[in-house]
Amino acid sequence: MHHAKHLLLGAVLSLLAACAGGGTTVRPDPSPPRAAAGAAGTHENLNAVLWMQTAAEYEATTRGVFAAASALLDAALADPRWDALPTAERGGQRVGHLPAAVIVDADETMVDNSAYQARLVEAGTRFAPDTWAAWVEERRAGAVPGALEFARAAAQRGIAVFYVTNRDAAGKPATVDNLRALGFPLSEPEDTVLTIDEAQGWGSAKGSRRQFVGERYRVLMMVGDNLGDFLDGYQAPVAERAALIEPYRSWWGSRWFMLPNPTYGSWESALTRGADDPVQAKRRALRSR
């Protein structure tokens, strides 16, 4: 009996030790720090991606933006002075005689890449050029709610739709295929999908491509999800970005239309550029008073 009590006591102590952490030898090896920090339950983009994929509020917002833009197309077309290019990019050029166009961004403006973002959340990883290029080649991006209706409304009025995207030239064939499969209007034989580095001087700043369109068209509207879709200089710090848009305050909702994108963008890099710990840099930018 005495021996049985000792065995029972030993079993209880072993169980208590395991509960207190002594059983680590039977647990799976811990994930690498980066993956643990980005696990699906704690990934920085979890809520943002879910909002874009599931929230009625997101669809209501994008459809509302595109509906407002569509409602102004006729007035913009009828007014020969209506032009949406930034003053510095237009350079005083007369535009009343030019055919009409709209300039739109592609990613998170016309096409939805939230499935790619969801993969990053599930894997606990971040954006990488190789995984992004593979996603582009899949040609599986969907249409942002309301985007197709807006593009078709413009095309039905004889307004050219230019897709000015920071996808690279290597991904252009897949991008064109994806847009065409979704039913977006693509002018032929004119090339209306303008990618980064496709021509000399076409860097990540889109001003040179906007000017390229503006030399031949009166730009009625621009639609995007990032400040760089409207103005160069968007990579500036937060305060400078605010000053950058000040001269164009009255253009929002008439000539310029911004869509929500909480998952990535130059708004984020404005907070984290040069920071050793991006998350801490974001936390320091919070205002709680």
- Name residue, tokens 């002075």: 81
How does pLDDT run across 245-287, given as a tens digit for each residue?
A: 999 999 999 999 999 999 999 998 899 888 999 889 999 999 9
Share the mean pLDDT of the chain.
Answer: 87
pLDDT at residue 262 in the model: 96
How does pLDDT run across 207-240, given as a tens digit for each residue?
A: 999 999 999 999 999 999 999 999 998 878 888 9
| Band (288; pLDDT cuts 50, 70, 90) | very high
What gap in Å lies between CA 194 and CA 145, rounded to an integer?
22
Q: Where are the domains of the chain?
A: 72-113+128-285
pLDDT at residue 194 in the model: 98
- What does the chain look like in DSSP terms, one character per residue? -HHHHHHHHHHHHHHHHIIIIITGGGSPPPPPHHHHHT-TTT-TTHHHHHHHHH-HHHHHHHHHHHHHHHHTHHHHHH-TT---S-HHHHTT---TTSPEEEEE--BTTTEE-HHHHHHHHHHT----HHHHHHHHHHT--EEPTTHHHHHHHHHHTT-EEEEEEEEEGGGHHHHHHHHHHHT----SSS--EEEETSSTT--SS-HHHHHHHHTTSEEEEEEESSGGGT-S-TTS-HHHHHHHHGGGGGGBTTTEEEPP--SSSHHHHHHHTT-SSHHHHHHHH----
What gap in Å lies between CA 259 and CA 110, rounded to an integer?
10
How does pLDDT run across 162-186, given as a tens digit for each residue?
A: 999 999 999 999 999 999 999 999 9
How does pLDDT run across 17-36, given as a tens digit for each residue?
A: 333 333 332 333 332 223 33
The alpha carbon of 180 is separated from its chain's Cα centroid by a whole number of angstroms, namely 20
Q: Who wins on pLDDT, 137 or 87? A: 137
pLDDT at residue 41 in the model: 60
How does pLDDT run across 103-136, given as a tens digit for each residue?
A: 999 999 999 999 999 999 999 999 999 999 999 9
Q: Which two tokens stand for residue 21?
A: 């952490």
How does pLDDT run across 54-90, given as a tens digit for each residue?
A: 999 999 999 999 999 999 999 999 999 999 999 889 8
Q: Pick 72-113+128-285's CATH classification: 2.30.30.220, 3.40.50.1000, 3.20.20.220, 3.30.1370.10.
A: 3.40.50.1000
